[in-house]
Amino acid sequence: MLISQLKIFGFRNIETASITTDKRVNVFYGKNGSGKTSILESLFFLSRAKSFRTSKKGELLKDGCSLLAVSADLEQQSKTHKLGIGLEGNGTSKLKLDGEVVTKLSQASILFPTQLITPESFDVFWSSPKARRSFFDFGLFHVEHEFQNDWIAYNKTLKQTNALLRRGGVNQRELLFWYRGLVDLAQKIDDFRELFLDKHFSKAISGLALELESNERTDLLKNLVIRYKKKALEQEVSDEMLLKQIDKDIRYKQVGFGPNRADYLFLKDGEDMSSRLSRGQAKMLFYLLVVAMVNIIKQTTKKNILLLVDDLPSEVDQQTRQTMLEMLLHSQAQIFVTGIENNIAREFMNYTDSVNVFHVEHGTVRQESMEQICP
């Protein structure tokens, strides 16, 4: 298991919690507003140093607290680590790995790969190119080590170039220098993304469809083609072409091309299927994509992975719900899942006996006996 122990202090409405999470599935149930989602949020914050619910870090601190802290004992590739993050009321945060202060988030994130599914994930993923790019870039970060360096370099160059465009009055020949660098880095990132689809993701989707061919809900994967849609200049671009692009971008005061504008298309029989999916199909396909991504990282890097599932869908029919449970367990990840009722634990027990269940009430977390829930 990736996480065996989780400690939380001053996070949202959780004053303090020390939780043993040494099972494959860890279920947190309770009424809305009880604090169960905050547990998942604290783990996401530990992994990414940001929240999936707010951009204002100050909102994460419990009322009356000037400090929050989250720490976890984790195992990665047969080694144990202690990862912790603290946030002060003034917005200052500090990340520690095995007692040492970490200055680069990537040093910790590489040990703590975390995927998230929330009720909002489905809508955001299918409506936002940025969300789709982030989803696939998460896999690239863990599988292709050079991708991160090129991505950091590209964004640094893009930021400097946009600053020059906004400043105005800049010499076009000076901009030409920056644009040459942008084109080169953009091509590297586009190549990484296309390679990831061809080498990893397309194969994972096909393999998943074969493994689960007895389940009719996985028909969504059959003949599914994911295509990377570039927003790039030609590969062999001349200075004359770049100067034309610069002239255009000066008017709009920002760079008008690049991997930060790209998208992913989901095609079936040559047609974009995303606009034709029902809400239930969109959720199911998103689950399948997440499972494929988790399995790629697991099989390629041999890392333990954490999958956070907030509010396992209760409005779907029973067959769809059971399929979702099967998908989650097929992911090879450690799973933290929330719901209103403890029957989620019973449902998981139909597939595995490695289940912990916790009742969350008014920010207090209490472990319950599986024998009582599943007599």
Task: Mention every residue, 6+ apart, whose C-beta is less than 8 A from residue 318.
Answer: none
**33 in a labelled binding site:** yes
**30 in a labelled binding site:** yes
Is residue 290 within 8 Å of residue 282, measured between CB atoms?
A: no
Is residue 349 within 8 Å of residue 372, measured between CB atoms?
A: no
Residues of the chain with pLDDT > 90: what percent? 64
**50 in a labelled binding site:** no
**37 in a labelled binding site:** yes
Residue of 61 and 330 predicted with greater confidence = 61
**248 in a labelled binding site:** no
Is residue 334 within 8 Å of residue 307, measured between CB atoms?
A: yes
315-374 residue pLDDT tens: 667 777 788 888 888 888 999 999 988 888 888 998 998 999 999 999 999 999 876 666
**260 in a labelled binding site:** no
pLDDT at 168 over 90: no
pTM for this entry: 0.91
What DSSP character marks residue 214?
A: T
CA distance 359 to 328: 21
Confidence of residue 35 (pLDDT cuts 50, 70, 90): very high
Mean pLDDT rounded to a whole number for the chain: 90
CA distance 7 to 185: 41
Residues of the chain with pLDDT > 70: what percent? 95
What is the pLDDT, as a whole number, of residue 372? Answer: 65
Please give the domain boundaries of the chain with CATH numbers for all domains: 121-297 (1.20.1050.90)
CA distance 300 to 9: 35
**10 in a labelled binding site:** no
178-215 residue pLDDT tens: 999 999 999 999 999 999 999 999 989 888 877 776 66
What is the pLDDT, as a whole number, of residue 138? Answer: 95
What is the pLDDT, as a whole number, of residue 158? Answer: 96
Number of C-beta neighbours around residue 166 at 10 A:
11
**295 in a labelled binding site:** no
CA distance 45 to 3: 15
